[in-house]
Amino acid sequence: MPSPLPLNFLTGYEPWVQAAAGLALLLLLATATRLLALLLFMPVLRRVRQQAQTWLTEVALHDDVLRGMARVLPSLVVQLGVERIPHLDPTFATVVGNVAMAFMVVQVVRALMAMLDAVLLLQQQGSAPQDGQAEALKARSIKSYVQLGKLVLVLAGAIVTIASLLDRSPLIVLSGLGAMSAVLMLVFKDTILSFTAGVQLSSTDMLRLGDWIEMPQVGADGDVIDIALNTVKVQNWDKTITTIPTWRLVSESYKNWRGMSESGGRRIKRTLRLDASSVRFLDVAEMAYFSRFELLHDYMGAKTVAVQEANTQARAQLGDKADLPANQRRLTNLGTFRAYVEAYLRAHPRIHQNMTLMVRTLEPTPEGVPLELYCFTATTAWVAYEATQGDIFDHLLAILPEFGLRLYQSPSGNDMRMGLPGQREAAWPGAGAEPHGPISAGA
């Protein structure tokens, strides 16, 4: 049996007085131990952490962890000293020791949870201990792992705490939980699914904090701001928050725009629908006029030579039939405009020249002849992207009449009120005439 606490000054008092005084002295000693740890050891350990500046010291010697470990000391002192109190009932001493053990388990769990919080805080802040391990953590969210770790700690702590209070082995309590495994699986079904999904998302690098994702089936279109054990939070562009169960990001499809952001270019894929009736051949005067365009100078020079060579060869083969327009090679205003648009994009300073760039004519539709622009901007910023795209199409819409082309537009109510073209000319002289432009003037 351990030697009793030194309570010689109480000799002669009743046994219960000695037991009560010993218990009070033990509680006072436990409290003093905690205060001593906070006032003396904690500043020393804090200086060690500041000097070491490593990932391990930042986590293990975090202030919340040190305070949690300081709360463990009183229960440890009580466990070691309760059996040394003279004349204390053995049953009562056992109960006090068990309660102190349960309290110590709770405080150890809290300290370990504070350690996990410190790891998460370092990862979120990216504040670098010099060993660089925080940067490796910053690339992916570890919040789901931290939350799972906390859940495991709480469950293990609860089992050990109950076993301590019952003065039984934790294995006995654990075996009793085995009969409830079906219930536990049902209760933690979503947690198990979400954790498995979180592991898959992290291991395959499918999702990171800050990724722009689009998931229409749940109304999500914005940046990922939080990846937790059970949910992923997305801040939409209208500043609302959509919460998605983590497992749905594995079982259902979504679009992640991270590849676009990392590529350095954002795609423009838009069509101009041209009026098919405005497409025609160019005459010699118009070809000479377009040759004066800086962006078309080389193109028109090469095409003029190619047309002349083709027509000369046709004249040698067909004779007088070569004078028929159908037997001649001629340029069209649509093809020339397509060449102009491509040259314009290749000369544009805000278009990415190392990515796919093309201008193509698609199949004609009842809404006109689609001319599609396919290129990438040199920036992925939304506002700058929209500004670049707007400037390009503003220019192309304004320069269409230079090529004798018209944009297709469905008749509006105003068109119906104005009536047929002949009636418009009668009501407004010159309304039905072709716009005066450089082509008609050059022709």
pLDDT per position as a tens digit, 324-339? 777 778 899 999 999 9
Query: How large is the average pLDDT for residues 394-404?
Result: 94
Which residues face 374 on adjacent strands? 269, 358
C-alpha angle 441-326-366 in degrees, rounded to nearest 5: 75
Task: Categorize the per-residue pLDDT at 345 as very low, low, confident or very high, splitting at 50, 70 and 90.
Answer: very high
Shared-domain flag, residues 244 and 99: no
CATH of the domain at 401: 3.30.70.100
Considering only 65-69, 199-203, 262-266, which range has the smallest mean pLDDT? 199-203
Q: Which residues contact 19 (CB under 8 A, 6 or more apart)?
A: 85, 86, 87, 88, 89
Shared-domain flag, residues 220 and 353: no
Shared-domain flag, residues 245 and 349: no
Mean pLDDT of the chain: 81
Domain extent for 340: 264-280+332-410
pLDDT of residue 402: 93
pLDDT of residue 59: 83
Query: How large is the average pLDDT for residues 184-205?
Result: 78
Give the tokens for residue 399: 């320069």
Residue 168's φ and ψ, nearest 5 degrees, are -130, 165
> In terms of pLDDT, which residue wins out, 7 or 71?
71
Shared-domain flag, residues 82 and 17: yes
Task: Categorize the per-residue pLDDT at 435 as very low, low, confident or very high, splitting at 50, 70 and 90.
Answer: very low
**pLDDT tens, 245-286?**
988 998 899 999 998 988 889 999 999 999 999 999 998 899
Shared-domain flag, residues 253 and 215: yes
Shared-domain flag, residues 274 and 342: yes
Comparing C-alpha atoms, which of 396, 289, 278 is closest to residue 343?
396
Query: How large is the average pLDDT for residues 185-196?
Result: 78
Distance CA 149, CA 113 (A): 8
Which residues face 243 on adjacent strands? 233
**pLDDT tens, 131-162?**
444 444 555 667 777 877 888 888 888 888 88
Q: Is 27 contained in some domain?
A: yes
**pLDDT tens, 83-97?**
777 777 788 888 888
Residue 158: CA count within 13 A, CB half-sphere:
7
The answer to whether the beta carbons of residues 238 and 248 sit under 8 Å apart is no
CATH of the domain at 233: 2.30.30.60
Shared-domain flag, residues 236 and 355: no
Q: Is 433 contained in some domain?
A: no
Q: Is 421 contained in some domain?
A: no
Shared-domain flag, residues 379 and 296: no
Which residues face 432 on adjacent strands? none
pLDDT of residue 442: 33
Shared-domain flag, residues 237 and 113: no
- Domain termination residue (choose one: 293, 313, 331): 331
pLDDT of residue 422: 47
Q: Is 431 contained in some domain?
A: no
Shared-domain flag, residues 17 and 141: yes
Other residues' Cβ atoms within 10 Å of the Cβ of residue 169: 10
Q: Is 141 contained in some domain?
A: yes
Shared-domain flag, residues 102 and 14: yes
The answer to whether the beta carbons of residues 396 and 390 sit under 8 Å apart is no
Provide the domain count of the chain. 4
Q: Is 196 contained in some domain?
A: no
Give the tokens for residue 381: 């910023």
Shared-domain flag, residues 366 and 300: no
Other residues' Cβ atoms within 10 Å of the Cβ of residue 182: 8
Q: Is 103 contained in some domain?
A: yes
> In terms of pLDDT, which residue wins out, 259 or 317?
259
pLDDT of residue 350: 95
